[in-house]
Amino acid sequence: MKVVSLLPAATEIVCSLGLREDLVARSHECDFPAGVEALPALTRARVDSSLTSAEIDEQVRKVVASRLPIYTLDEAKLGALAPDVVVTQEACEVCAISYDQVVAAVHSTSAGAQVIALSPTRLDHIIEDVRRVAGACGVSERGFTVAEDLRRRLKQAAASTTGRPRVAVIEWLAPVMLAGHWVPDSIQAAGGIAVGPEPGDPSPYATWEEVRALEPDAVIVAPCGFDLDRTLRESVPFADRLSALAPRVLLLDGNAYLNRPGPRIVEAVETIAAWLNGAVVPADRGAVWGAALST
């Protein structure tokens, strides 16, 4: 079995199923678990991810306006690998290569490959995607076991939380976006009340005043695609605005945990639940408000 993953979350799903040795290629953004970076990367982005939040947003708008795809795919490498399964996504053309691009490339270079497209909009969809990928890769029983363990951990996280604080999640800082899709479900699973978009709805743009009007008790800052260090740097210019939103703020490694619809979303829920209960957040996952933005 030869598997190509064109989505970081899909790579994490494949590896959680014990199929790391079956992976033959990845997207340029696949970086977990450790070691997958050694696999050939079949995609690249037209947008420079090292720019500031505002500059990235501007570049994305320009690429979309020009009707060019944000990501490109190395079709020659894909064909040479002759994969049996290609896992991609059908949810967001800003986050990863588009489904139509992948289908066209597979049709012309690897016609025998099965394309699995993940398009989760709710937390439960992510768990079900584990089973879908497992089925496509011929390890259905293993997929059931992994999915049930993820559900068990979610139930434990919900049971551990006391109180029901109102929580807003900021997915982008310039311009401001509130996190939608599976994130409201994740806040609910962590014992909070998600304020902002309804579960399953896309992530909307907002103003600082609109976020403040939601009257959150706590705010989580988890910009899409940014690790914790990058989130810390990007948040500094907005320290005053963030401090005015709620008495409690958590800066989270959204790229690893909350933004990706893969198994580590459960770790995000567990981390948020612990934080809402006053527990210490692991230093590699998040930084609580206070010293984090004053450094």
Determine, yes or no, domain membership for 196.
Answer: yes
Phi, psi of 287 (to 5 degrees): -135, 125
Residues 172 and 87 placed together within one structural domain of the fold: no
Q: Are residues 179 and 81 in the same domain?
A: no
Residues 170 and 50 placed together within one structural domain of the fold: no
- Per-residue pLDDT tens digits of the chain, which is 295 residues long: 999 999 999 999 999 999 999 999 999 999 999 999 999 999 988 777 787 888 888 877 887 777 666 788 999 999 999 999 999 988 666 666 778 888 888 888 877 899 999 999 999 999 999 999 999 999 999 999 999 999 999 999 987 667 789 999 999 999 999 999 999 999 999 999 999 999 999 999 999 999 999 999 999 999 999 999 999 999 999 999 999 999 999 999 999 999 999 999 999 999 999 999 989 899 999 998 654 444 4
* Final residue belonging to a domain, choices 119, 153, 171: 119
Decide if 59 is inside a domain: yes
pLDDT tens digits, residue range 53-79? Answer: 888 888 778 877 776 667 889 999 999
Token pair of 26 as six digits = 């990845």
d(CA 229, CA 253): 8
Contact 2, 82 (CB under 8 A): yes
Q: Note whether residue 144 is domain-resident.
A: no
On whether both 210 and 264 belong to a single domain, the answer is: yes
pLDDT tens-digit map of 75-92: 999 999 999 999 998 866
Which residue is listed with tokens 């953004």? 29
DSSP state of 107: H
Number of domains the chain contains: 2
Report the CATH number at residue 209: 3.40.50.1980
Residue 153 lies in a domain: no
**In the Cβ-directed half-sphere of 257, how many Cα atoms lie within 13 Å?**
22
Neighbour count for residue 170 (Cβ, 10 Å)? 28
Residues of the domain holding 15: 3-119
Contact predicate 6/27, CB 8 Å: yes
Contacts of residue 291, Cβ cutoff 8 Å, sequence gap at least 6: none
In this structure, the answer to whether residues 204 and 278 fall within a common structural domain is: yes
Look at the block and give the residue holding tokens 């997207």.
27
3-state DSSP assignment of residue 47: coil
CB 140 within 8 A of CB 134: yes
In this structure, are residues 196 and 178 in contact, taking their beta carbons and an 8 Å threshold? yes
Q: Is residue 41 part of a domain?
A: yes
Phi-psi region of 266 (alpha: psi -120 to 50; beta: other; left: phi over 0): alpha
Question: Do residues 15 and 87 share a domain?
Answer: yes
